[in-house]
A and B are shown apart, each in its own frame.
Chain A
Amino acid sequence: MSAEAIRVPARGRPVRRLFVHQLRAEQLVFWRSREAAFFIFLFPVLLLVLLLSLYHGGKYQGEPVRWEVLAGLVGYGCANTTFAGLAIQLVLRRESGILKRLRSTPLPPATYIVALLTSTLFVFGLQAVVLFLLGHALYGTPLPSAVGSLVVTLLIGAAAFAALGTAVAMAIRSAEGSSAVVNFVVLPMAFLSGGFGPNNGYPAVLRAIGDVLPLTYFLKLVNAVYLHGHGFWTQPEALAVLGAWGVAGLVLAIRNFSWEPRGR
């Protein structure tokens, strides 16, 4: 985005005008940071190229294993962007005083939060599109057939992970090392849940750990929708577990939310 993208907006309906203004600001802030653009947006895409070249043959749930790997990376991308990326950004902004500074302006807190979440969702949406298109172009994975169900599934997953990311951000006390802490959660979770390829060959202990993680259930949904073209509603158990994680995250996030630095 160019420097021209941010202008003092024309007058309009206040809340909508503020939302659009803040959404553009968030997008500028995100893409301007090379670290964020690389680790959050590009990293799952690089993993796709790497992993799909490693897995060529084999079947998973009756479909080519590459399809599952792609679905897994969409799941990892979701956790990486809306959980890890959001958590790290929130900690940095809280600890650097940006959140506190914004609180003294007329920007309503809810508008700020909604704009930040929408911006994060937009990044993930773009990432999912790139993953599906790149997989299709380079490795012949099919494009999703049940698009409506896929969009709903990704929205549910993004919402649950964003709630959990906010909860984790509020549990982290200082900006120093926050990205290490968050990645220490995300990378093993992605591995254990099958985000980097099928986990059915893992030892029982690892699979048992994977069975409580939210990404496992999100991937069940994505697999059902993407691999088999089923509707998202055909997986009530996965929806329930993912939803429970999301609600727990939301409760903690709201209860512990702080606009002010904690580490000093």
Chain B
Amino acid sequence: MPAIEVSGLRKAYGNLEAVRGVDFMIEEGEVFGLLGPNGAGKTTTVEILEGYRRRDAGDVRVLGHDPQRPGPDFRQRIGVVLQQSDLWPNLTVRETHAIFAGYYEAPRNVDAVIALVGLAEKQDARVKTLSGGQKRRLDLGIALIGDPDLVFLDEPTTGFDPQARRAAWEMIRSLRSLGKTVLLTTHYLDEAEQLADRVAVLREGQIVRIGTPAELTTTDLQTEIRYRENGEEVLVRTDEPTRVLAELTSAAVARGEEIEGLQVRRPSLEEVYLALTAEESAE
């Protein structure tokens, strides 16, 4: 059974259609990235799946539950890291974990989780004394304390410095090795590329592309072939790079010349993403 099934999902706030017919499926154990610029509908989609918001239309199944009318074990089995949330500032890291552990029937060991998120040295520090990155790790710790099968991470590294991001990525990778299903939203491309098994790109409430990071880069933009001819840069974009290259090279071989500065390159995920999310404004 898939961990998450979404079809025809729609949600509007007044006149603003935040989600306009979204379909996707996430398998158990998969790390799935929802990628898109701010306002694309990522958080709305995730908050519907978490049970925070009601949908206007569509079918949603999360761990077999309808999150609008979840059964009693639904919240036992999900872990949530919200985009913005603080915890009790005067409690310690350990106390905070222990309080959340008490909400679950079969919580993980508090010390083990604190160690997993790298806060062992800070376990007796008050929450208000933690740095931004440490607070985010605390968020992750309490999301994992109930030993969830499915973890929602809404922009888990926004505002991190590069080192903190790398550390967070390591932690998210460790979730995969624990067999958790992860739904990650991000507007950072490299993050999706690094972490996600599959990625859906959202734009204005719709999924414009879905697939593995490799599929996105191979099926989308045309291959670029560059070379110099008479000292001038030539750029050819093509869906048939093999044929174009064969023609170019055989002609050059026939003339007994070397093609100057020949380059063949696939677009990066970043270019695919920028092209996908910019289409609207270019039209």
Contact = CB atoms under 8 A, between A and B. Distances in A.
Nearest to A5: B95
Interface in A89-122: 96-98, 100-101, 103-107
B244 interface: no
Contact of A96 (B51, B86, B99): B86
A107 B103 contact: yes
Interface in B42-97: 50-52, 72, 75-76, 78, 80, 82, 84-92, 94-95
Interface in A23-38: 25, 28-29, 32-33
A3 interface: yes
Contacts of A29: 88, 90-91
Nearest to A17: B102
Contacts of B89: 33
B169 interface: no
B94 A3 contact: yes
Interface residues of B, number: 33
Interface stretch (A6-14, A61-69, A246-254): A6-14
Nearest to B139: A101
A107 to B, nearest CB: 5
Given A105-B103, A105-B104, A106-B75, A98 B88 contact: yes
B103 A3 contact: no
A28 B91 contact: yes
B105 interface: yes
Given A28-B91, A104-B51, A105-B146, A96 B103 contact: no
B27 to A, nearest CB: 22
A134 B76 CA distance: 47
A96 B87 CA distance: 7
Contact of B91 (A9, A32, A106): A32
A152 B52 CA distance: 38
A28 to B, nearest CB: 7
B90 A32 contact: yes
B95 A28 contact: yes
Contacts of B216: none
B90 A106 contact: no
Contacts of B75: 104-106
A18 B87 contact: no
- Which of A3, A29, A106, A107 has the most B CB atoms < 10 Å from its CB? A106
Interface in A119-150: none
Given A6-B98, A96-B85, A106 B52 contact: no
B146 A106 contact: yes
Contacts of B227: none
11 contacts: A14-B105, A32-B91, A96-B85, A98-B88, A100-B85, A103-B52, A104-B75, A106-B72, A106-B75, A106-B105, A261-B84
Interface of B: 50-52, 72, 75-76, 78, 80, 82, 84-92, 94-95, 98-105, 107, 110, 124, 142, 146
Interface of A: 3, 6-9, 11, 14, 18, 21-22, 25, 28-29, 32-33, 96-98, 100-101, 103-107, 260-261, 264
Q: 7 closest Cβ contacts across the A-B interface?
A: A97-B85, A96-B86, A104-B80, A32-B90, A21-B102, A105-B103, A106-B75
Given A18-B103, A105-B103, 16 more contacts: A3-B94, A3-B95, A3-B124, A8-B101, A22-B102, A25-B99, A25-B102, A29-B90, A32-B90, A96-B85, A100-B52, A101-B85, A104-B82, A105-B75, A260-B52, A264-B84
